[in-house]
Structure 1
Amino acid sequence: MPIVNILVTREGTTPGADRTTDEQKAAVYKGIADLLFDVMGKPREETTVVFHEHGIADLGQGGLPLRDYRASRA
């Protein structure tokens, strides 16, 4: 049984959105199940996808809090 973990920041993809919508998550779940079936022959009904959303303060990149890293690259 494939288990796929998706980790994203808790930021929306459109202005004013503060998280991934249920509709977007559903599309990700279907897309991952379809991809694993198409590429590896894994049955869709056996594929589990776990969606993790994290606050931006919970992540770091390049040795910095993610917010500071992004500011340094802007």
Structure 2
Amino acid sequence: MPIISVVIAEGRSVEKKRRLVRALTKAAVEAFEVKPETVRVILNETPLDHYAVAGETFGEKAEAGGESK
């Protein structure tokens, strides 16, 4: 049973997350030749202030008008 764990920044729409889950499931089915019912996908949404690059959180970037996701 494939289990796919993904960490993403919070704030994406439900539809985008559903689209990602469908695409990941399809990829696992094709790559591992398993039934879709056996594929598990876990989305872990991280608050923007809990994710940083080069010492600046994505929350800070969003406040400054920069790219956040």
> Percent same amino acid among aligned pairs?
15
RMSD of the alignment, in Å?
2.4
Please list every run of 5 or more consecutive structure 2 residues that lacks an aligned counterpart in the other structure: 65-69
Shift of 1:54: 1.1
Please report the TM-score for the alignment, with normalisation by the length of structure 2.
0.71
Question: For structure 1, which runs of at least 5 residues remain unmatched after alignment?
Answer: 11-18
Deviation of the 1:27 alpha carbon: 1.0
Give the aligned partner of residue 28 of structure 2. Answer: 36
Deviations 1:31-60 (A, max 9, x none): 111101112212211111111111111113
**Structure 1 residues 1-32: Cα deviation after superposition (integer angstroms, max 9, x where no partner):** 1111111112xxxxxxxx11111111111111
- Residue in structure 2 matched with residue 45 of structure 1 by the alignment: 37
Misfit runs of 4+, over 2 Å? 65-69
Separation of aligned partners in 1, 2:34 and 2:57 = 35
Q: Distance in 1 between matches of 2:34 and 2:56?
A: 37
Say which of 26, 44, 66 aligns to 2:57.
66
TM-score relative to the length of structure 1: 0.67
For 1:6 and 1:23, locate their aligned partners in 2 and report how far apart those are by CA, in whole Å. 16
